[in-house]
Amino acid sequence: MRTNAEMTEIYKRNQAILYKICYLYMKNSHDAEDILTETFCKLIDRAPAFDSFEHEKAWLIRVATNLCKNQLKSWWRRHEDLEDYKELIGTEDQEDQYSELLNALMCLPDKYKTVVVLYYYEGYKSEEISGIIGKPASTIRNYLCEARIILRKYIEGSEYGE
């Protein structure tokens, strides 16, 4: 069992990336926070040992991603439209190119989302992402390429892409 101080450190190290991944999947802050909490509860309950911070991060990302997928299939989710990400994007007056891009990121197929966050936000190379999530680097590169095509098409179709 980890102490509260140790848990706090782990949380601070990983909160930002995990929350972004959860939000991209769930598209609302409430569910994203719940999944973030549940991810760390799994860490507490299963108490796995990690070789390194990267190993720790990879484990947390896998758990969070799976929890998101499960939640998206859950009974309550299927009955309610809980998306609130439009609030992040803001009103028409507040919209900018990043809002449009965020909208595009939200609309990406789920399989690309974690890779995109790891590559573009965390700055990992495809080989490093491969190590974190256990997929061949060539697959990661394909996912990134496909995601870029989808994002570009989306942006080109918007007023900011014209």
Using CB under 8 A as the criterion, which residues of the chain lie in contact with other proteins when the complex forms?
Answer: 1-2, 4, 7-8, 11, 15-16, 19-20, 23-24, 28-31, 33-34, 36-37, 40-42, 44-46, 62, 65-66, 69-70, 73, 75-76, 79-80, 82-84, 86-89, 97-99, 101-102, 105, 110-112, 114-117, 120-121, 133-135, 143, 148, 151-152, 155
Residue 13: count of CB within 10 angstroms of its CB:
14
Q: How far is CA 17 from CA 32, 80, 110, 153, in A?
A: 12, 26, 16, 26
Nearer to other proteins, 137 or 155 (CB): 155
At 59, list the tokens.
């484990």
> Could you tell me which of 70, 86, 80, 79 has the C-alpha nearest to residue 34?
70
Residue 147: count of CB within 10 angstroms of its CB:
21
What is the nearest approach in angstroms of other proteins to the Cβ of residue 57? 13
What is the nearest approach in angstroms of other proteins to the Cβ of residue 19? 5
